[in-house]
Structure 1
């Protein structure tokens, strides 16, 4: 129903963005990849995907149409919901997901929280041919930002992880990598949670 929204970035966190256009603020759920690309910008165009559930109408935002395409492919697989697909796009870039599926790399897919062996195999079986033909999936690079472990902690809690376990993992990772960005901390933490 909605293709994209263009406007001012009013609030940006690693898991969400509020885009104001024509006096209305739209709350969008985003991946860590999209957050990395939006950081430092005041205005942006964000591609949308709407999820209508019995209890909520949710908007998911993506930095480009290719990331949204990967998201839509992921949620087309039985057992993979919008939040799991967003978690995958926060742990891996769209091109890493495509490469893992096309090359039947179960281990890479299992590295994402919520994806077990059966889910990884189902993703590969159902999407290998579709993603193999999709050659315009862009590799989204991560920008380096001056952020703190508190932002990483907040983002992971917002993604649904228990605060106590996240705090331990983030503290350990930050002690080992004091110059790590919030994106790096979150990616490393997602692999350990």
Structure 2
């Protein structure tokens, strides 16, 4: 198996990159999250996951080990394939997926295209315990204990803001002020949205 690639970035697209390693060009599928983290320089290092099937071989690349681990966990859920897992990592950051799973936030997982209510519940049920173990060493703050976060998100959604945008802003506020009140979260988010 190929665990990582380091080489010259030959081509960079929204869904894939080509990396030249010793004269061999590797086609690597990526998420939008990884795309946003890839520097514009020539040299690149990606953590990879290779999926071998009877009819295909696919290589997926990630800038962060934590994203690769979340990807592998998502693949372990029945009904979640590589394309759906990559779509999840393109729609939400790995930290947001971990937060949603740990706090049982079905709506966030269901907001990803291709995942229904049952699929979202299955992801949470299958991965709730595993996600914390895998991401133990990572700097991921799970705001499951902060019910104000959920209330603030619901209020912002009621005001007409998209949940994904509101989540990013609210999580950013919580990162700097973990004990922020619901009112403070809403006011801070309204200033930034």
- Whether the TM-score (by the shorter chain) exceeds 0.5 is yes
Cα distance, 1:34 vs. partner? 0.6
Q: Do the aligned partners of 1:66 and 1:136 also contact (CA within 8 Å) in 2? A: no
Deviation at 1:137, TM superposition (A): 4.1
Q: Distance in 1 between matches of 2:139 and 2:35?
A: 16
How do 1:129-144 residues align onto structure 2 when only pairs under 5 Å count?
A: 129-133=129-133, 134-137=135-138
Distance in 2 between the 1:5 and 1:116 partners? 34
What corresponds to 1:40 in structure 2? Answer: 40
Tell me the SS of whatever aligns to 2:99.
helix
Structure index of larger Rg = 2
Aligned to 1:20: 20
Aligned length: 139
SS in 2 for 1:40: coil
Distance in 2 of aligned mates of 1:70 and 1:132? 10
CA distance 1:83–1:116, change in 2 (3 Å)? same
**Structure 1 stretch displaced more, 35-44 or 61-70:** 35-44
When residues 26 and 40 of structure 1 are mapped into structure 2, their CA distance, relative to the original with a 3 A threshold, is same
Q: Residues of 2 paired with 1:125 and 1:92: CA distance?
A: 19
TM-score between the two structures when normalised by the length of structure 1 = 0.70
Deviation at 1:31, TM superposition (A): 0.3
List aligned pairs for 1:74-85, cutoff 5 A.
Answer: 74-85=74-85
Give the structure-2-normalised TM-score: 0.70
8 Å CA contact retained: 1:87, 1:113: yes
Q: Which runs of structure 2 are paired with 1:67-106 in the superposition (5 Å)?
A: 67-106=67-106
Alpha-carbon contact 1:37-1:63 (below 8 Å) kept: yes
Change (3 A) 1:138 1:114: farther
* Structure 2 segments unaligned to the other structure (5+ residues): 141-193
- Higher RCO, 1 vs 2 (CA within 8 Å, ≥6 residues apart): 1
Q: Secondary structure at the match of 1:108?
A: helix
TM-superposed deviation, 1:138: 5.5
Asked if the contact 1:17/1:27 (under 8 Å) is kept, the reply is yes
